[in-house]
């Protein structure tokens, strides 16, 4: 799950980046509003964590431009000031949620998972697909009720394919959802992860459309 983090505070930004990477997100971190705008124009993200007080272009302005393009990307705002006026301004500009600094990393990741659930149109926290059940919050997978042990990137690919069930995902799209900037992409990583997923979950779940990509059918 690829996420854009826009935060100019070096210490806080590194803390959030590391915490979210630990939670399984591929994090791109930018430190001003212009960089955030550019990243949004050139990359595909599942989520954004946006500091309100950014240099060059404010978080509010980044958000306004995003929504002016009708982009539904879920955005969680970070604000240093806990005033009603600031919160109203942020939500009016199109934020989906906000947190006031200082905040707990566990709360941030829980709120991000909730945003992902809502943007995926799911009310229940778990995804059920036939005998397969995936709980994104707990990073837990069961098949016919029996726990299945998945590596973090296998889990990320499975989640991405399930959230896009019925839509073919190219290898490039899967790589994008797995890796942040600066991370080395191993050339056949996606194929290897898919191979392991098939061994653990059965050969039929993930279909290969030769030359196009991979697909999990709608349940």
Nearest-approach distance from CB 9 to Ca ion, in angstroms: 5
CB of 51 to Ca ion, least distance (A): 4
Rounded to a whole number of angstroms, the minimum distance from the CB of residue 203 to Ca ion is 49
- The DSSP annotation for 6-25 comes to E---HHHHHHHHHHHHHTT-
Cα-based angle 132, 122, 103 (whole degrees, multiple of 5)? 105
| Min CB(167)–Ca ion separation in Å | 36
Locate 168 and state its tokens. Answer: 């073919």
User: Cβ 20 to Ca ion, closest distance in Å?
Assistant: 17
The residue within the footprint of Ca ion, chosen from 20, 30, 32, 51 (CB under 5 A), is: 51
The 8-class DSSP code of residue 82 comes to -
Closer to Ca ion by Cβ: residue 8 or 61: 8
Which are the contacts of 104, defined by CB distance < 8 A and separation ≥ 6? none
Residues in contact with 69: Cβ distance below 8 Å, sequence separation at least 6, in sequence order: none
Nearer to Ca ion, 3 or 50 (CB): 50
Contact call for residue 56 and Ca ion (CB under 5 A): no
Residues 2-21 that bind Ca ion (CB under 5 A): 8
Q: Considering only residues 21, 53, 120, 140, which one is a binding residue for Ca ion as defined by CB under 5 A?
A: 53
Nearer to Ca ion, 32 or 175 (CB): 32
Q: What whole-number distance in Å separates Cα of residue 143 and Cα of residue 130?
A: 9
Which two three-digit tokens encode residue 171? 């290898």
Which part of the chain contacts Ca ion (CB under 5 A), choosing from 1-9, 102-110, 152-160, 203-211? 1-9
Cα(133)–Cα(88) distance, rounded to whole angstroms? 38
Do 116 and 47 form a contact (C-beta atoms < 8 A)?
Answer: yes
- C-beta closer to Ca ion: residue 8 or 34: 8
**Residues 67, 55: contact at Cβ < 8 Å?**
no
Establish if 32 lies at the interface with Ca ion (CB under 5 A).
no
C-beta closer to Ca ion: residue 80 or 209: 80
| Residue ranges binding Ca ion (CB under 5 A) | 8, 51, 53
């Amino acid at each position: 799950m690829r996420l854009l983090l826009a935060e100019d505070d070096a210490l806080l930004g590194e803390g959030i980046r590391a915490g979210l990477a630990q939670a399984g997100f591929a994090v791109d971190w930018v430190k001003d509003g212009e960089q955030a705008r550019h990243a949004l124009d050139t990359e595909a993200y599942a989520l954004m964590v946006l500091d309100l007080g950014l240099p060059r272009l404010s978080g509010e302005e980044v958000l306004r431009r995003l929504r002016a393009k009708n982009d539904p990307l879920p955005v969680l705002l970070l604000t240093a000031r806990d005033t009603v006026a600031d919160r109203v301004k942020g939500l009016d500009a199109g934020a989906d949620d906000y947190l006031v600094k200082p905040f707990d990393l566990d709360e941030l990741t829980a709120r991000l998972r909730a945003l992902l659930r809502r943007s995926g149109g799911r009310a229940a926290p778990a995804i059920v697909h036939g005998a397969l059940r995936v709980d994104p919050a707990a990073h837990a997978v069961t098949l016919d009720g029996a726990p299945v042990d998945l590596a973090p990137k296998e889990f990320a690919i499975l989640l991405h394919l399930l959230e896009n069930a019925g839509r073919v995902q190219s290898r490039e799209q899967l790589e994008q959802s797995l890796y942040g900037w600066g991370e080395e992409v191993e050339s056949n990583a996606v194929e290897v992860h898919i191979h392991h997923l098939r061994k653990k979950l059965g050969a039929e779940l993930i279909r290969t459309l030769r030359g196009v990509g991979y697909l999990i059918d709608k349940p």
